[in-house]
Structure 1
Amino acid sequence: MEEMESNKGCRRKRQHGGLVTMPFIFANEACEKLAVVGFSTNMISYLTTQLHMPLTKAANTLTNFGGTSSLTPLIGAFMADSYAGRFWTITVASIIYQLGMTSLTLSAILPHLRPPPCKLGEQVCQEADTRQLAILYASLLLGALGAGGIRPCVVAFGADQFDESDPKQTAKTWRYFNWYYFVMGVSILVAVTVLVYIQDNIGWGWGSWNSNHSDVFINYCFYRVDTHFTGTWIQPGVHLQDCYRKRKLAMVSDPKLLYQNDELDAPISIGGKLLHTIHMKFLDKAAIVVEEDNFKQGQAPNLWRLNTVHRVEELKSIIRMGPIWAAGILLITAYAQQSTFSLQARFPCNKRSPWTGISQNPSKSQQVQCLSSP
């Protein structure tokens, strides 16, 4: 009887998640990369040749879009971890993303949503008016918000489809990560070659349309949806508030006196419990038990007044990653110029290949060189 119930439980587990969900998750990631990379790679050309923006204004618009797209994942991750969960965050973000890409496609197709073409012999072309720019900026903002909900959640949502307690599925998880990054790399390569070619030789409307309408992601019945929200993004603020409130307390002589609760930390320590470290001891004060905490043994504490050692160590880990994160600032600052001024400088040059005689797109060839470099 127990064996039959166990088999039923296994069947229930297999009804949701597993490898059957991978094509949908990979398709969503591929479509997001096709749309964002395919348009942003050649965006400086679109802004200067179609909307007749000055180079400095176009470069500023492009970097603002890139910066916003890099900040919105913080909002998406916060919503997924604290309130909505990964599935619904991705679903809502995909809808917002679709709205942004649809309006961007319409602005590339409909003549009255962009300025008239330059007349032969004109030195100064008519720039986009306020209404046309408003549609462009609204489209880019919607695209950035949508990408912010998709990017931080898709890879983790894919990992959620496997049961880590099952050794067989743990091996499949690693296989999933390998295929995920392979699909992402291929999608980026297709975006900077095929889509850029379509935009330059067939039309911007076709290039944007292909990016937009390939983004399809909803098949709820296949997924394993986690409804437990940990509030991970709120915890650092909670810890810092506890540390500030207890800043005048003397540090305990024995770290074993700091508060620990394995049951409370179980949902956020699936990969293992963090041990106490001797660094940044001032943060340990958040785990000191005092009378003002109104803590009763056997009850869950108010985390705004008392935290566990594991949660304090999580904050320490985040702080330790600060220098690693900061090291990428200079790299991204230099990389931002690659799609703006350095790219625009190549347009007046002779773009024909000396070997084939075929005209090359500067943005496409530059991105391919960067992707293929070791």
Structure 2
Amino acid sequence: MDEAHKLNTWEGYVDWRNRPAVRGRHGGTLAATFVLVVEVLENLAFLANASNLVLYLSKFMHFSPSSSANIVTNFMGTAFLLALLGGFLADAFLTTYYIYLISASIEFMSTFLLPMSVVASRELVETVSVNFPFKGTLSVVIQRQAINDLTMRQTCAPANRINCFDLVSFIDGTGTNLMPYRMMSGPTVEKHGLLVLTIQARVTSLKPPACFSASTSISCEQVDGRKAMVLFAGLYLVALGVGGIKGSLPPHGAEQFDEKTLQGRKQRSTFFNYYVFCLSCGALIAVTLVVWVEDNKGWQWGFGVSTAAILLSIPIFLIGSPVYRTKVPIGSPITTIFKVLAAAAYNTYRFRNSSNSAIGMDTSRTSDTTETRDQGEGCNTKRMELCHTPEESIRFLNRAVKSKTANPMLECTAEQVEEVKIVLRLLPIFVSTIMLNCCLAQLSTFSVQQASTMNTDLGSLKVPPASLPVFPVIFIMVLAPIYNHAIIPFARRVTKSEMGITQLQRIGTGLALSVVAMAVAALVETKRKRVAADSGLVNSTEPLPITFLWIALQYLFLGSADVFTLAGMMEFFFTEAPKSMRSLATSLSWASLAMGYYLSSVLVSLINTITGRYGDTPWLFGSNLNKYHLERFYWLMCVLSGLNMLHYLFWANRYKYSSTRKSLSQPNS
């Protein structure tokens, strides 16, 4: 009976009620499909805010272009870096299922703070009071407000006051103001409810005074103080929710497939390809429909779409609960890593002058068999490959395993040592991808600002600059299915291998494309500045007589790099990592993005410091993009990307896949 039960259940996996997952009922393509649909909505919500954020900060919060770029890269970098926290919690304490639900709830709640930065930013210039009696002595005083914003004067005309803002006060019989609220009239009140009112009661205007200038030489007052604090609090609460989702959703989808079968491994690879496809679907809606809404209807409506999208994703995810399977958490992977490192260092120091200094698995494999059996998860048939560590592989860590140790807390099994070795082998590949993501950071910063200075007319259609990422997004949506259904099958027939194109080859292709993309970006910026000079528009805010489609060229190359690299990284880290660390390892893909965004900010600041000290003016300083030396920055990025490519090739050529290591260890087992 017990043997039959084991055959019918997924070992090490449970359902959403923490019961053993059953074969044929839990996991599979249907379960992964729910994850893909949820990812469309989640990425829509995230990018709807992020794609236009740089223009919002520069035009409404009056940050300089370089400051706006740094704020956006820091925000997105933090969001992606927090994926490590989500992955860690999923591996150590909770499942990917519950981490997603918690994170989505945080993102949903925090998105309310962003509409508040718009709703609460209008200034009172006139008041009309109306009393509505309630039972007893309580009445409500509604004070209509017009807006000190030239673009909204007609909206707030007396004949159309439904679109203005209200100041609501609950007044008792003595005239005491019991509870002041700010709220928005019309259907938005119903959407945001009391939560919005409560937040608005305690949040003052987040915008600085309105600034209307036709010349780039006039400085506007930048948001600061408590206003800036509330703005950044809202942004980084969103980042916390996004990070948890990014750290849990991809591994949750990948967990649904049986890696012990060829079909399961192929389906898992397909899942990662379509995960990137779904990322692009959400991004497409975000940079077209939502950006148009923000530009034409107001920022509060764009933020409202984000809130609705993340709210809708939660019940859709819950619908798939009966078919999900999730890996059982088995404790902190960070603890294992530090334990092995500490044990290796401790044993090296303690026995370096001892006659018994020959410690480690490679010198006592026979005697270790009995020891590891006593230590719990030792050498067994299913995990034999982890018990025979290659002697050439990071031999220092072998010293963490010895027959007798003075500190029981530092006792390590051969399996634990090998798991740490696997993680250390992944790190050089991880580091090599950071520069690529530094290039990708330019998609949401300087490239958008470049396009905002150019002619964005496409026939009779005027394209918002923040919608420029539509070009790489569409290309990814076209390339991902072609890659999965045409390129990979062809490569499998040619190479006669299961993978066709290895994950490291895929990542390397993306790195090479990033070098080309930065060279193209430098050439396009040189042309844009030449047009500005020839037209006499260097100091003007008028659109330059050059089409924004030139910027699309660098977007296409970077988009191609992303479709190769992101899916390759996620599949590589998930497949190669120990099972106890897979969520955390998969999060390295997002951590690489985070490091890339942070590196972009550091490079901008560093370049400004160095060029300002040894030149006339910093390359990337001021409010006039036409006076920047952005083309030099792009050429520098091109050179750094080329050097990074060489660094990647060094490590990729020396890396051995886990399947290769297992096959090499079998003859010795």
Question: Does the CA contact (< 8 Å) of 2:448 and 2:468 recur in 1?
Answer: no
Superposed displacement of residue 326, structure 1: 2.0
Aligned to 1:84: 94
Q: Which amino acid aligns with 1:285?
A: R
Segment of structure 1 superposing worse, 284-293 or 158-167: 158-167
Segment of structure 1 superposing worse, 336-345 or 158-167: 158-167
Aligned to 1:254: 363
Q: Write out per-residue CA displacement over residues 67-119 of structure 1, whole angstroms, 9 at most, x where no aligned residue.
A: 21232112111111111221121111111111222221332344344425434
Which one of the candidate residues 256, 269, 279 is aligned to 1:184?
279
1:69 aligns with 2:79: yes
Superposed displacement of residue 168, structure 1: 6.6
Aligned to 2:337: 236
Q: Which amino acid aligns with 1:130?
A: G
| CA distance in structure 2 between the partners assigned to 1:315 and 1:367 by the alignment | 41
Relative to structure 1, the CA distance from residue 174 to residue 280 in structure 2 (aligned partners, 3 Å threshold; closer, same or farther) is closer
Question: Does the CA contact (< 8 Å) of 1:85 and 1:229 recur in 2?
Answer: no
Superposed displacement of residue 55, structure 1: 2.5
Question: Does the CA contact (< 8 Å) of 1:255 and 1:276 recur in 2?
Answer: no
Superposed displacement of residue 174, structure 1: 4.5
Q: Write out per-residue CA displacement over residues 258-316 of structure 1, whole angstroms, 9 at most, x where no aligned residue.
A: 7464861699x8896474122221111001222535xxxxxxxx6x4222223212222
Which one of the candidate residues 277, 282, 285 is aligned to 2:396?
282
Q: Which amino acid aligns with 1:235?
A: T
Q: Which amino acid aligns with 1:57?
A: S
1:196 aligns with 2:291: yes
Q: Secondary structure at the match of 1:150?
A: helix
Aligned to 2:211: 118
| CA distance in structure 1 between the partners assigned to 2:462 and 2:410 by the alignment | 66
| CA distance in structure 2 between the partners assigned to 1:143 and 1:82 by the alignment | 23
Question: Does the CA contact (< 8 Å) of 1:81 and 1:233 recur in 2?
Answer: no
More strand, by proportion: 2
| CA distance in structure 1 between the partners assigned to 2:9 and 2:439 by the alignment | 53
Question: Does the CA contact (< 8 Å) of 2:31 and 2:256 recur in 1?
Answer: yes
Q: Secondary structure at the match of 1:189?
A: helix
Q: Write out per-residue CA displacement over residues 208-240 of structure 1, whole angstroms, 9 at most, x where no aligned residue.
A: 221221112252444334443242232111111
Aligned to 2:115: 105
Q: Which amino acid aligns with 1:362?
A: P
Question: Does the CA contact (< 8 Å) of 2:287 and 2:469 recur in 1?
Answer: no
| CA distance in structure 2 between the partners assigned to 1:169 and 1:237 by the alignment | 33
Which one of the candidate residues 24, 36, 41 is aligned to 2:34?
24
Q: Which amino acid aligns with 2:448?
A: L
1:343 aligns with 2:443: no
| CA distance in structure 2 between the partners assigned to 1:152 and 1:313 by the alignment | 24
Q: Which amino acid aligns with 2:65?
A: L
| CA distance in structure 2 between the partners assigned to 1:101 and 1:258 by the alignment | 59
Question: Does the CA contact (< 8 Å) of 2:378 and 2:414 recur in 1?
Answer: no
Segment of structure 1 superposing worse, 63-72 or 329-338: 329-338
Unaligned runs of 5+ in 1: 294-301
Superposed displacement of residue 341, structure 1: 3.2
Question: Does the CA contact (< 8 Å) of 1:289 and 1:306 recur in 2?
Answer: no
Which one of the candidate residues 461, 469, 473 is aligned to 1:358?
461
| CA distance in structure 1 between the partners assigned to 2:280 and 2:367 by the alignment | 46
Question: Does the CA contact (< 8 Å) of 2:90 and 2:329 recur in 1?
Answer: no
Superposed displacement of residue 327, structure 1: 1.8
| CA distance in structure 1 between the partners assigned to 2:434 and 2:6 by the alignment | 51
Relative to structure 1, the CA distance from residue 323 to residue 15 in structure 2 (aligned partners, 3 Å threshold; closer, same or farther) is closer
Q: How many residues align?
A: 362
Superposed displacement of residue 121, structure 1: 6.2
Question: Does the CA contact (< 8 Å) of 2:94 and 2:329 recur in 1?
Answer: no
| CA distance in structure 2 between the partners assigned to 1:3 and 1:312 by the alignment | 31
What percentage of aligned pairs have identical amino acids?
A: 25
1:158 aligns with 2:253: yes
Q: Secondary structure at the match of 2:454?
A: coil
Relative to structure 1, the CA distance from residue 4 to residue 98 in structure 2 (aligned partners, 3 Å threshold; closer, same or farther) is same
Q: Which amino acid aligns with 2:240?
A: L
Q: Write out per-residue CA displacement over residues 113-159 of structure 1, whole angstroms, 9 at most, x where no aligned residue.
A: 44254347694444334333222111111111111211121111123
Q: Which amino acid aligns with 2:389?
A: H
Segment of structure 1 superposing worse, 33-42 or 10-19: 10-19
Relative to structure 1, the CA distance from residue 83 to residue 348 in structure 2 (aligned partners, 3 Å threshold; closer, same or farther) is same
Question: Does the CA contact (< 8 Å) of 1:34 and 1:188 recur in 2?
Answer: yes
| CA distance in structure 2 between the partners assigned to 1:314 and 1:46 by the alignment | 46
Relative to structure 1, the CA distance from residue 201 to residue 258 in structure 2 (aligned partners, 3 Å threshold; closer, same or farther) is farther
Segment of structure 1 superposing worse, 4-13 or 243-252: 4-13
Q: Which amino acid aligns with 1:229?
A: I
Q: Secondary structure at the match of 1:289?
A: coil
- TM-score of the pair, normalised by structure 1: 0.82
Q: Which amino acid aligns with 2:421?
A: K
1:317 aligns with 2:422: yes
| CA distance in structure 2 between the partners assigned to 1:197 and 1:255 by the alignment | 68
1:41 aligns with 2:51: yes
Superposed displacement of residue 241, structure 1: 1.0
Aligned to 2:324: 223
Aligned to 1:128: 223
Relative to structure 1, the CA distance from residue 276 to residue 357 in structure 2 (aligned partners, 3 Å threshold; closer, same or farther) is same
- TM-score of the pair, normalised by structure 2: 0.48
Q: Which amino acid aligns with 2:348?
A: R
Relative to structure 1, the CA distance from residue 367 to residue 331 in structure 2 (aligned partners, 3 Å threshold; closer, same or farther) is farther
Q: Which amino acid aligns with 1:245?
A: Y
Q: Which amino acid aligns with 1:320?
A: R
Relative to structure 1, the CA distance from residue 265 to residue 184 in structure 2 (aligned partners, 3 Å threshold; closer, same or farther) is farther
Q: Write out per-residue CA displacement over residues 310-333 of structure 1, whole angstroms, 9 at most, x where no aligned residue.
A: 321222222222322222233333
Superposed displacement of residue 163, structure 1: 4.9
Segment of structure 1 superposing worse, 211-220 or 173-182: 173-182
Relative to structure 1, the CA distance from residue 139 to residue 258 in structure 2 (aligned partners, 3 Å threshold; closer, same or farther) is farther
| CA distance in structure 1 between the partners assigned to 2:555 and 2:331 by the alignment | 37
1:149 aligns with 2:236: no
